Structure 1
Amino acid sequence: MKRFAISLSLLAFASASALAEEVINHKSPYCGCCSEWAKHMQQSGFTVKEVPHQDMAPIKAKLGVPSDLVSCHSAEINGYVFEGHVPAQDIKTFLASPPKGAKGLAVPGMPMGSPGMDYGDNRQAYSVMMFDENGHHQVFKHYSAM
């Protein structure tokens, strides 16, 4: 019984430390919503390191973000890319079981009501898109307007 309790404790510790892996958030030094998204991630249990860039275009190109999915900031977690205001819960779901061939998730543009783009109880409809190395993408999750 004691071994079981120790094993369970180690499993819980390993799960918590896996979640706390560092998020590298590439952003403009002048963008406040990017920092608000970082706060959302921290409140959801992630550790976030913000890296300011004067020009985000080379970062997005290096990370392989499809041009039709760009937003204001680009984050790296465990070798995957998360573009824009992707909800932390969707990132957790993705990281728990990454779909084969997926490179990451993106929320194109800056939809009102997405994490970091909060505006009271208002939310535009938006989709979280999953994309691969070739730029192909599909809906990962859709959020309706409120």
Structure 2
Amino acid sequence: MKFTIPLPLAAFALVGVLLTGPVLAAGEELVVYKDPNCGCCGAWATHMREHGFAVREVATQEMGLVKSEAGVPRALGSCHTATVGGYVIEGHVPADDVRRLLDEKPALAGLAVPGMPQGSPGMEGPYPPQRYEVIGFDGKGGTKVYARH
């Protein structure tokens, strides 16, 4: 038996992809490890959902251990750590940069936005946005600027 999507549903799905970007393939869930008392981490998870990512939030008091096991360099630390597609995403990295990482598949361990720059995804607010960099890092201590915002 062949399964077909009714035309109205297929059109609705296409509009959703055009508005939010491609939906990640099965197995591409973004898992966010965060302190249960941190509000900006949840705001970042919402930003990622709004950009088409399937997000699972894991509250933990052991963020130091999570970062260490994920290989996040201490100098690149932020408040939350995520994994997706075999990469580590540290801090308030914009969804477009994560999508680019997954599309291009560079030889990196992950991306990081050190600290909590005002105006980055999840850190929007009444204060003027700061300029910040998204840093690509490998598993050997190497880093490079991946994007500037």
Q: Shift of the alpha carbon at 1:74?
A: 0.2
Contiguous gaps of at least 5 residues in structure 1: 1-8
Higher share of residues assigned strand: 1
Q: Shift of the alpha carbon at 1:122?
A: 2.5
* Correspondence for 1:38: 45
Q: Shift of the alpha carbon at 1:123?
A: 0.9
1:136 equivalent to 2:142? Answer: yes
Instruction: Name which of 89, 110, 113 aligns with 1:107.
Output: 113
Q: Shift of the alpha carbon at 1:19?
A: 8.1
1:29-83 deviations in Å (ceiling 9; x for gaps): 0000000000000000001100011120000000000000000000000111000
Contiguous gaps of at least 5 residues in structure 2: 1-9
- Tell me the TM-score normalised to structure 1 length: 0.84
Cα gap change, 1:17 to 1:86, in 2 (>3 Å): closer
Q: Distance in 1 between matches of 2:33 and 2:23?
A: 24
1:78 equivalent to 2:85? Answer: yes
Partners of 2:24 and 2:53 within 8 A in 1 = no
- Tell me the TM-score normalised to structure 2 length: 0.82
Runs of 4+ in 1 over 3 A off after TM superposition: none
- The alignment's C-alpha RMSD in Å is 2.0
Q: How does 1:1-146 map onto structure 2 within 5 Å?
A: 16-18=23-25, 21-100=28-107, 102-120=108-126, 122-143=128-149
Range that drifts further, 132-141 or 60-69: 132-141
Aligned length: 131
- Percent identical across equivalent pairs? 47
Q: Distance in 1 between matches of 2:97 and 2:26?
A: 13
Q: Distance in 2 between matches of 1:120 and 1:95?
A: 32
